[in-house]
Amino acid sequence: MQLSNLDALPGQEEQVQKALQETIEGPVEKDAFGNLYFGDLKTKKKKIALYAHMDEVGFFVHRITEDGFVYFYPIGGWWGHVILGQQVRVTCRKNGQILEGIVGTLPKSNHKMSEVVPINEMYIDFGVHSKTELEDAGLQIGDMILPNTQAKKSFNGKKIIGKALDDRVACTVMAQVKKHLDTKKIEVVGVGTVQEEAGTRGSKVAAVKADADINIVIDVANGKDTPKAAEYQNRIQGNGPGLVLADKTALGNIKLLDYCKEIAEKNNIKWQYDLLGGGGTDAGSVQLFAGKPTLVFCVPTRYCHSWNSIVEISDIEATIDLLVAVIQSLDKGGIDLEQF
């Protein structure tokens, strides 16, 4: 939950970078783009890379009016319906100060109630009277703006509610897998990528530096188990991670997928097939670097790219368990990596 509360707009991922560096033991490198590599990149062993992006969808300050209203620019996919009236926080990069405000709700006469208000017409009200007041507090064009939320558990203790679960869930999984593994023949490199939500940019750099024999991208996608979410319910919370056959940018390596499926069934770990027809992941960049076997593990998460998402704790645990079991099996020679 702590990772959910951190703010990391694409290109401004410092908070999450610091938290992961403090959490994951062992060697770590940071490239010029901001990607992190947890593990020995120079090893002569076979390498398995686990990718998790550190950034989140959000906004930055675009324009400040003389009377103190702030217009903003979205980074990543946003649906206007979830923005109006919400609380936000902006981090002033000049001095680190946090300013809280709300996205103003426009008068009914401005738009038909059936229409989505364009994001470029929305503004943030910080409760000030002038542009000077904001600038004196440290606000600048380009400062990151994110949902002003705090993560918490659901009343029954089974789920986590919070912002940025896309992709802090994966960061948590990657960190825990690194913690629980003790491999002999295989080097596992955890890769924290930047700017995924701005066009999977960081992974284009990271794939080259990691240069792994097998790539596993950990991400989330909207659960389809809520009312009227889909004609065919899939990506169901409580059924474990999805092994992704394809997304819009990559095809999952079917031999690797089948191997993960077999390991899951052998160890009684829940899993489900998945297909991300609406978007892409870091897998597209990673797979196209050297054509090495690549697969996406997808954790079902409701209401992605909004102020609050929901993930089931058991799905996170199953993802960790399955990745550990798969990697341990490969380390013990369960199958030759060259066969994928």
Instruction: Determine whether the annotation assigns residue 219 to a binding site.
Output: yes
Q: Tell me: is residue 247 an annotated ligand-binding position.
A: no
Q: What pLDDT shows up at residue 295?
A: 98
Residue 12 in this model has a pLDDT that exceeds 90: yes
Are the C-beta atoms of residues 246 and 215 closer than 8 Å to each other?
A: no
Position 62 scores a pLDDT of: 98
Q: Is the pLDDT of residue 81 over 80?
A: yes
| One-letter amino acid for residue 60 of the chain | F
User: Is the pLDDT at 229 greater than 80, yes or no?
Assistant: no
pLDDT in the model for residue 232 = 75
Q: Say what the pLDDT of residue 324 is.
A: 98
Is a pLDDT exceeding 80 seen at residue 112?
no
Q: 46 pLDDT band (50/70/90 cuts)? A: very high
For 149, the enclosing helix (H) or strand (E) is none
Q: What is the DSSP string of 171-224?
A: HHHHHHHHHH---SSEEEEEEEES-GGGTSHHHHHHHHHH--SEEEEEEEEE-S
Q: How confident is the model at residue 224 (pLDDT cuts 50, 70, 90)?
A: confident
β-pair partners for 215: 49, 294
236, pLDDT greater than 90: yes
* Cis peptide, bond prior to residue 336, ω within 30 of zero: no
Average pLDDT over residues 254-277: 96
Rounded CA gap, 207 and 41, in Å? 12
Q: Each residue of 132-169: pLDDT tens digit?
A: 999 999 999 999 999 999 999 999 999 999 999 999 99
Q: Annotated catalytic residue: which of 13, 56, 187, 196? A: 196
Instruction: Average the pLDDT over 89-118 and give the result.
Output: 88
Name which residue leads in pLDDT, 247 or 108: 247
Do the annotations mark residue 225 as ligand-binding? no
CA distance 126 to 140: 14
196 is a catalytic site residue: yes
Structural domains of the chain in order of their starting residue, each with its CATH number:
2-56+163-339 (3.40.630.10), 58-147 (2.40.30.40)
pTM, entire model? 0.95
Q: Is 14 one of the annotated binding-site residues?
A: no
211 is in an annotated binding site: no
DSSP string, 231-296: SS--S-TTS--EEEEEESS-B--HHHHHHHHHHHHHTT---EEEEETT---THHHHHHHH---EEE
**Mean pLDDT score, 101-118:** 82
